[in-house]
Structure 1
Amino acid sequence: MLILVTGVPGVGKTSIIKEGIKYIKYNFNILSLGDIILDIAKKNYNINNRDEIRKKLSIKDQLNLQMEAMKYVKDIEKNENIILDTHLVIESYAGFVPGIIRTFADILRPNGIVVITSDPDKIFLRRLKDMEIRGRDIENLKRIEIQQNLTIYFTTVFMFEYHTVVEIINNEEGLLDISSKKFAEFINKLIGNE
């Protein structure tokens, strides 16, 4: 089983996954597509962080990195359930680009997608903190809202094309435990119905 967990940078995906795994009744391998891609980029393109991937590499090189990562994920899925922390929409130097193009979606065919959302103001504040820790860029509130809406829209393609079950969870400030339990409940129900 493959579950994608997605949302804009700073929404709290990774925190919800780390907290939510405690409540999931089944074994899952948690992977970060960004980490997988970064590892490949470091080896092949002398890249130091995720933001450099979108700033320094051509779209073609980014797609090649993603293809390698998709194959890696599918190899692991043969033997394990996977929660894949990823982005469906990425803001590149040229504008918004898909995090998973159709070719990659055809490979992955996830059973479920969890979209984590939050108030753009809260995301903006989290990104301010991340700017120092992870070297992230800061965008304006409208761009955050647009990217969040595009992410939700993108999941409809998976629903219609691959019969993927989608859940949207709002990560409200100070309510990580509630959001994490909703996340786990969705996965427990989904895998229980397979």
Structure 2
Amino acid sequence: MPFVVMITGIPGVGKSTITRLALRKARAKFRLVNFGDLMFEEAVRAGLVEHRDEMRKLNPNVQKELQMKAARRIVEMAKTEPILIDTHATIRTPVGYLLGFPKEVIEVINPNFIVIIEATPSEILGRRLRDLKRDRDVETEEQIQRHQDLNRAAAVSYAMHSNALIKIIENHEDKGLEEAVHELVEVLDLAVGEYD
């Protein structure tokens, strides 16, 4: 049976670090897939874009079709190996928040788990300010909390259309990175035996 885990979290929450470390420790060997990368590959293949930044300018209907193509690719991959999708549940735009997955797309992917990585707004803000390698949007703690709240709401919506379980993992400075990694490994290890 296909085993698909979606992992999401707002920028600065530590999602990439937790994911990387958990994949090393998990007994099940997941294929890490970035949903945006798959969409970009499909857009390039169709001759729609040359650079990733051009994706945002595509017609929303074209973007939705690219999402569907990426979703179908994930379904094919999941037939032979467990998949961990690195993605965004919601995307902050200049005019509002965009859901990362339309209903039709989440129904195709049909994830087993939706994992949300969270931290306090002050922790996220501090991490963003310390990470000089990334060009991140400046947000207030209130905006950061709103974005996390919207991610939770989006996860509930996605779960309604896929029967996925939702797991919230807190990545606090005092809790320790290792605990967050351990919690993700526990989810990933549920795939052990699914592909034997």
TM-score normalised by length of structure 1: 0.84
Give the corresponding residue for 1:171.
Answer: 171
| 1:127-181 residue CA offsets vs partner (Å, 9 max, x unmatched) | 3345x42433222222211110111122222333322111100011261111101
Distance in 1 separating the partners of 2:98 and 2:4: 23
Residues 193 and 153 from structure 1, CA distance in 2 versus in 1: closer, same or farther, beyond 3 angstroms? Answer: farther
The equivalent position to 2:25 in structure 1, one of 19, 23, 29, is 23
Aligned pair 1:117/2:121, yes or no? no
Q: CA RMSD in A?
A: 2.4
Distance in 2 separating the partners of 1:85 and 1:61: 21
CA contact (8 A) 1:41 1:47 kept: no
Distance in 2 separating the partners of 1:48 and 1:136: 17
Unaligned runs of 5+ residues in structure 2 are none
Trace 1:22-171 onto structure 2 (pairs within 5 A): 22-40=24-42, 44-49=48-53, 53-54=55-56, 56-130=57-131, 132-171=132-171
| 1:19-66 residue CA offsets vs partner (Å, 9 max, x unmatched) | 1112211121011113333444566323344xx644x44434433432
The SS at the match of 1:182 is: helix
| 1:96-122 residue CA offsets vs partner (Å, 9 max, x unmatched) | 010011010111110111110011122
Distance in 2 separating the partners of 1:86 and 1:165: 16
| 1:175-194 residue CA offsets vs partner (Å, 9 max, x unmatched) | 11111011101222x33697
Distance in 2 separating the partners of 1:76 and 1:148: 29
Residues 76 and 149 from structure 1, CA distance in 2 versus in 1: closer, same or farther, beyond 3 angstroms? Answer: same
Distance in 1 separating the partners of 2:31 and 2:12: 22
The SS at the match of 2:184 is: helix
CA contact (8 A) 1:33 1:69 kept: yes
Distance in 1 separating the partners of 2:173 and 2:150: 22
Higher helix share: 1
Q: What is the letter of the counterpart of residue 81 of structure 2?
A: E
Residues 96 and 125 from structure 1, CA distance in 2 versus in 1: closer, same or farther, beyond 3 angstroms? Answer: same
TM-score normalised by length of structure 2: 0.83
What percent of counterpart residues are identical? 30
Q: What is the letter of the counterpart of residue 138 of structure 2?
A: I
Distance in 2 separating the partners of 1:93 and 1:79: 39
Distance in 2 separating the partners of 1:20 and 1:91: 27
Residues 35 and 102 from structure 1, CA distance in 2 versus in 1: closer, same or farther, beyond 3 angstroms? Answer: same
The SS at the match of 2:18 is: helix
